[in-house]
Structure 1
Amino acid sequence: KILPHLLEMTNRKNKNIEVVNEYGVTEAAVMSTIFRRQQREKTIKIGHPIWNTRLYILNKWHKPQPIGAAGELCIAGVGLARGYLNRPELTAERFLSFSYRSYRSYKTYIPEKIYKTGDLARWLPDGTVEFLGRIDLQVKIRGYRIEPGEIEKRLLNHPGIKEALVMARQHENGEKYLCVYVVGASSSKGVQAIEVSSLREYLSGELPDYMVPGHFVLLEKIPLTPNGKVDMKALPAPKIESGQEYAAPRDDIERRLVKIWLEVLGREPSASIGIDDNFFRLGGHSLNTTILATRIHQAFHVELSLSEVFKRRTVRKLGEYIRQAHHKAYIGIEPVEKMEYYPLSSAQKRLYFLQQMDLESTAYNMP
């Protein structure tokens, strides 16, 4: 893994140095791709396949992915191994039969053997391949599949960052969240100071909201094992703080709100949350914002829209809103008893009416 700060150092020392990146695995004779970096390029790709080697980027159904879509990088060609010695199960799992269409006759399928690398990659519009990380390092948070390597790549393009590591951690209630560990870039004046708020703002402009980590930890260096791997166990848990001085609840409404926040955020009852702490800096997100609004409605009989929660991100401001708002009793959704048939909704009746007008139509067929 070549880091951007090493490339910059190489360029400063000698602009005539040509950086060549090779990628490969032991199962495919070590070297399968090559990439020659141009001087102005900030990132290192794994490039093009070498002679007599073919690359496929496939989804979980072993179908080719379009340009820009991530998938598993698979290798084929004369350099491929026959399999693993005396390990037929692993050979069957990693070495697969695959068919591709001939460029001479699009209808002709040519069978060959491919090796599944377990690496996540994607084709770029210029025909090169970009490495995104290991598939087994993918995490699923709030229904989204996230590649930590893609977030790390964006962070390493930031001029103030030397090293970055993204991993999933868990709150006390078992909910997963993304945590970033960063090492600041050094200069003649020492290690650059990094503002967490500026990093969060930077990533917000580079990535969709669900990929922006909620917590950042600044380190002097990434801890490594004796083998040179990242020592995950040595990484400290983030201190989940809002950055505000603690201000205690002033009345019963604020005390009840703090209790609700602790439950929604999955904190211990003994944890302290001040009335000026920001809900989202403490780990709040769109999903538990919905839960928060419902819990407030149940506790105070005040209906709260999501936009109001986003406007009033502290206990103090929510308390002010609750004191002035009109009360509206909370009515829960009662589960209906199980029936063999249920009455049609108005939308379903419309579809039935349209289907009866043209019995031959397949416009509303379900696959």
Structure 2
Amino acid sequence: MLTPSLARVLSPTDFPSLKLMVTGGEPLLQSDIQRWTGLVKLINSYGPAECSVYSHAHPVTNTSDQENIHIGRGVACVGWIVSPNDHHKLLPIGAVGELLIDGYIIGRGYLNDLKGTAKAFIDAPSWLSQFHDGHGHRRFYKTGDLVQYTSDGSLRCIGRKDNQIKLRGQRIGLGEVEHNLRECFVGTRDVVAELVVADDNVDRPPISVAFVQLDEDKDEKSAGKQTIRSNAGATPADEAHIIANSQTLVAPTEDFRSRVLEAEFKLHNVVPNYMVPSVFIQVVQVPLTTNGKTDRRYLQELVASLSKEELQVYSGSGRDKRMPSPDMEIETKL
């Protein structure tokens, strides 16, 4: 069982005897499906650590589309969808709400954390009596994840109910930003959206940042090509900082800036301005934590320490304000 982020750094040709792959812990992308289906039986799973290894699973085929990569049905448990603000309110089919897990796979609680246990592991809500006469002392786990029933009865995971940021008075869901980035940014392998708050010694307001890994980055690295490109507008000090962070960050090329300009143009036509990242930073590869998930904190810390001048090198804020090409305008209208 692998996280999708870890699976992306593997090549299917290196594992010719692999027959089954189970992914979980992060959203599965359409590009992941295209990469592995036909070579292995692919199962998308979902499950918090508080409920054994996984609680839901869904076999994936290459016919799945990006909007309908489901987490499937319960495994040794029952899932209930309730109001994110009140678990005593059961929501109707089709509504987006928080997933509660009910079953024997639920853990006892958190070690030496009575407050956290009481918040996440709850007694049976009052509405359960409509479905079971004697529910006794059954316990439920509040996942904090927003889900929705699909037409075939399986669940679709929307994102974390607490995975939202507030920027200039507007509440923004990072999952939605990342979804739109994948749709509008050409040639990405992975994207991560984050709110970055500057270090105490850096005078800069919070900014929304898109970290972009391009499809060709891995090929360049494996071929031994230089991944840190020069930037004509950078000072020697700025270039030194780029080299110091060369294991993750990449100085923008003209090609990358052109893609950013195109992505911004598309994004402004589908989402409000406040949902378009202020800065686009190319990365060699999205960093992973020890458990194989995207290391968001590491990315935040890298950018938080940058000065305004250093950030301009990565953001390409000095790029010329060219009008979108006729092809881009026609594509957007279509």
| TM-score (normalizing by structure 1) | 0.54
SS in 2 for 1:140: strand
SS in 1 for 2:119: helix
> Match of 1:131?
157
> Match of 1:166?
193
Q: How much does 1:183 deviate?
A: 0.9
Q: 1:221 to 1:71 in 2, by over 3 A?
A: same
Q: How much does 1:151 deviate?
A: 1.8
Q: 1:203 to 1:124 in 2, by over 3 A?
A: farther
Q: How much does 1:167 deviate?
A: 0.5
> Match of 1:21?
44
Q: How much does 1:173 deviate?
A: 7.0
- For 1:20, give the aligned amino acid: I
Contact 2:33 2:60 in 1 (8 A): no
Q: 1:54 to 1:224 in 2, by over 3 A?
A: closer
Q: Which residue of 190, 214, 219 corresponds with 2:278?
A: 214
User: Does 2:70 correspond to 1:48?
Assistant: no
Provide the C-alpha distance between the structure 2 equivalents of 1:35 and 1:84, rounded to a whole number of angstroms: 28
- For 1:180, give the aligned amino acid: A
CA deviations on 1:280-302 (whole Å, 9 max, x unpaired) are: xxxxxxxxxxxxxxxxxxxxxxx
Q: How much does 1:188 deviate?
A: 11
Q: Which residue of 120, 134, 137 corresponds with 1:94?
A: 120
Would you say how many aligned residue pairs link Structure 1 and Structure 2?
243
Q: Which residue of 175, 179, 187 corresponds with 1:149?
A: 175
Q: How much does 1:161 deviate?
A: 0.7
Contact 1:3 1:156 in 2 (8 A): no
Provide the C-alpha distance between the structure 2 equivalents of 1:69 and 1:243, rounded to a whole number of angstroms: 44
CA deviations on 1:1-39 (whole Å, 9 max, x unpaired) are: 33443322224xxx2633211111232222211112232
Superposition pairs of residues 332-351 of structure 1, within 5 angstroms: none
Superposition pairs of residues 36-115 of structure 1, within 5 angstroms: 36-43=59-66, 44-62=69-87, 63-65=89-91, 70-97=96-123, 98-100=125-127, 112-115=138-141
Provide the C-alpha distance between the structure 2 equivalents of 1:210 and 1:67, rounded to a whole number of angstroms: 31
Q: 1:277 to 1:18 in 2, by over 3 A?
A: closer
- For 2:196, give the aligned amino acid: R
- For 1:60, give the aligned amino acid: N
Q: 1:132 to 1:35 in 2, by over 3 A?
A: same
Q: 1:50 to 1:211 in 2, by over 3 A?
A: same
User: Does 2:56 correspond to 1:33?
Assistant: yes
Provide the C-alpha distance between the structure 2 equivalents of 1:41 and 1:220, rounded to a whole number of angstroms: 29
Contact 1:100 1:110 in 2 (8 A): no
SS in 2 for 1:151: helix
Q: How much does 1:148 deviate?
A: 0.8
Provide the C-alpha distance between the structure 2 equivalents of 1:20 and 1:241, rounded to a whole number of angstroms: 40
- Structure 2 portions without partners, runs of 5+: 1-25, 222-252, 324-334
| TM-score (normalizing by structure 2) | 0.59
Provide the C-alpha distance between the structure 2 equivalents of 1:69 and 1:175, rounded to a whole number of angstroms: 36
- For 2:281, give the aligned amino acid: V
Contact 1:56 1:75 in 2 (8 A): no
User: Does 2:176 correspond to 1:178?
Assistant: no
> Match of 2:302?
234
- Structure 1 portions without partners, runs of 5+: 246-275, 279-367
> Match of 2:14?
none
Provide the C-alpha distance between the structure 1 equivalents of 2:32 and 2:109, rounded to a whole number of angstroms: 36
CA deviations on 1:181-203 (whole Å, 9 max, x unpaired) are: 10111399869944102112333
Q: How many percent identity over aligned positions?
A: 28
> Match of 1:198?
262
Higher relative contact order (CA 8 A, sep 6+): 2
> Match of 2:34?
8
Provide the C-alpha distance between the structure 1 equivalents of 2:148 and 2:269, rounded to a whole number of angstroms: 21
Contact 1:99 1:110 in 2 (8 A): no
SS in 2 for 1:26: coil
Q: 1:87 to 1:241 in 2, by over 3 A?
A: closer
Q: 1:26 to 1:242 in 2, by over 3 A?
A: closer
- For 2:213, give the aligned amino acid: V
Provide the C-alpha distance between the structure 1 equivalents of 2:212 and 2:181, rounded to a whole number of angstroms: 8
Please say which of residues 123-132 and 135-144 is displaced more in the overlay. 123-132
Provide the C-alpha distance between the structure 1 equivalents of 2:217 and 2:127, rounded to a whole number of angstroms: 51
Provide the C-alpha distance between the structure 2 equivalents of 1:197 and 1:159, rounded to a whole number of angstroms: 11
> Match of 2:145?
119
